[in-house]
Chain A
Amino acid sequence: MSLTMMSWIFFLIYIGALVYLGWLGQRKTKTLTDFVAAKQSYGWWWLSLATMAQWCSAAAFMGQPGLGYNIGFPALWYVIGYIFSGFAWALSIYGMWQAGARTGARSTPNYLGIRFNSKAIQLIAALVTLMMIFYVAAQFVGLGWVFMVALNIPSYLIGCIIAAFITAGYICAGGTHSDILTDALQGFVMVIVALIALFTAFLLVVKGGPAAVNASITAQNPAIGWHNTFSSFAPSFMPWAAVSICVALGFGALSPQMSKNFLALRSSADIKKMVIFSAILMIIMSFMMLAGIGIRALYGTHPELGPLLAKQPDQAIIQFFTREFHPILGAFLVVGILCAIMSTADGLYLVISTAITTDIYRDMIAPKIHKNITPEALDRRALILNRIMVVVIAVVSLWIATPPPKFLTVLLWTGLGGFTVAISPSLILGALFRRTTRVATLASMIGSIAVYIYLITIGGMHPFPAIGYGLIVSLGLHLIVNPLTKPEPEEHLNRIFGKISPK
């Protein structure tokens, strides 16, 4: 049986599982809060797998092997950042869970608005979340390639449309419940695939193990070997940009599709388990970059694949899986890549649609223009709008993803960078320190997003170094403005976090 036929069989089983879990999610969804937050509904292992799956996307399963293939060991700075993702989750989850459980916050912008008692902060966070549309588009780029190569679909666009239809379908049905259930399943498949990729594409691909891989790629280009700390030819992995992206992976991990999961954690006893298990899962995901480096050793001098992958390095992992494995295993691995991409796209639909319909319309505009409507009726209206908006976002993302860019990691970070610089530092500091003030948070958000947008548009800068500068502005403004401004009233802080913890 051919690889394409096997891929279709696995694909249909996979879609069947997603539809079933989407239906389960739909049964659990009765209210707007169920749809956007699934508050305190899941244990640590569901949410650890789902959070990892939402963070590791097309970039993890295609972009990172592509970077490893093209840039070699210096590209490892990207996945070193994964351990900082785990650290950022640890720093923010305790405070955010407390606040969510006490105040009923139902999204990340909503949590920030409640934490700092400011509608302006909620509005800015919701608007910055809209930039994530580029992140969704990056997922479609990955899906288009996978469908073309593995499922033999003739058109990149058709592949994107099929994926958009499926993901939008189950998110419309069950919102956050469907998102968490399907992503946990997909995260489990991703872990298996990443472990297989590590052993086959890095440890065993060349006789002699990692040292032989290094010798092989160093012979192709000395600048990609492991003795190089940074890249001498790829601007995105030169010293400043490499360290920036490493740190940014920590702050970016608090993007709303992940941080909203903290609100869904059932009990505070699960927090430490979720933190530790999520960090371990992120370490496993870093193996995909090593796989890309191993594939370079294998295919770098191949007469046919060498020139092809030099032009499209993001295809390295798919070419490896489809060429080197028995069709059954190859097809399973291709489904793993689909899992990585679709699990991120679905969560992103949800946070963007929630930002528009719940954070902006339901919480700010609707109470002013519909004064005679009850909050429950407004919730019902926002729920319907949320479902419609998921479909609109899928269509707009498809439009952005056509035609595909050369490096999908760049498109992804263009969208993600805004949230990383403007919102994530305030999420961490606001969760950790009661002394973090509203004015400092506003200054940090506005200052950093302005600098970031200026650098990537007028300045024409790559997103990686631009994020580094944005984070300096964001953290610097917190450092300067916090001591100069009045802390939030103690009564307000006690309502959110409780009284200062007992000694």
Chain B
Amino acid sequence: MKPGYVVVVAAVIALILSIVAALYGSFAAYMVMIPSWFIVILIFVWAMEKMGRSKYVEEKIEERGEKR
């Protein structure tokens, strides 16, 4: 599965968990939503690294510096 899709699936699962937790009250929502969305953040960071976004940028910037 592509990293982008993994992020979307994780976000959908977190959203469903958030709605279910909210049915049990505001404190339950807090206790469930904070960790579940934190995991989504971790998965997003993994996806961005997997897609090579930051490494690629670094290379391009170094390249530009060398040309100068």
Contacts and interface: CB of A to CB of B under 8 A. Distances in A.
A73 B24 CA distance: 12
A76 B26 contact: yes
Given A76-B27, A501-B52, 18 more contacts: A73-B25, A76-B29, A77-B26, A79-B30, A83-B34, A84-B37, A86-B41, A94-B48, A102-B64, A226-B25, A227-B24, A227-B25, A229-B25, A268-B54, A268-B55, A269-B58, A276-B41, A286-B34
Interface string B34-47: 10011011101100
B20 to A, nearest CB: 12
A214 B29 CA distance: 15
26 contacts: A73-B27, A76-B30, A80-B29, A80-B33, A82-B34, A83-B33, A83-B34, A83-B37, A86-B38, A87-B40, A87-B41, A87-B44, A90-B45, A101-B57, A102-B61, A214-B27, A226-B25, A226-B27, A226-B28, A227-B24, A228-B25, A228-B26, A269-B54, A275-B45, A279-B41, A501-B51
Contacts of B44: 87, 90-91
A489 B59 CA distance: 23
The 4 closest A-B pairs by CB, nearest first: A226-B27, A268-B54, A73-B26, A83-B37
B5 to A, nearest CB: 14
A498 B27 contact: no
* Chain B interface SS verdict (over half): helix
Nearest to B55: A268
Nearest to A82: B34
A85 to B, nearest CB: 10
B1 to A, nearest CB: 14
Nearest to A77: B26
B16 to A, nearest CB: 15
A267 interface: yes
B29 A268 contact: no
A101 B58 CA distance: 9
**Chain A: interface size category:** 35 or more
Contacts of A86: 37-38, 41
Contacts of B48: 90, 94, 271-272
Interface string A61-104: 00000000000011111011011101100110010011001100
Given A87-B41, A272-B45, A283 B34 contact: yes
Contacts of A82: 34
A298 B9 CA distance: 43
Contacts of B22: 229
A413 interface: no
B57 A87 contact: no
A433 to B, nearest CB: 11
Contacts of B25: 73, 226-229
Contacts of A271: 48, 54
A272 B46 CA distance: 8
Nearest to B21: A229
Interface in A433-450: none
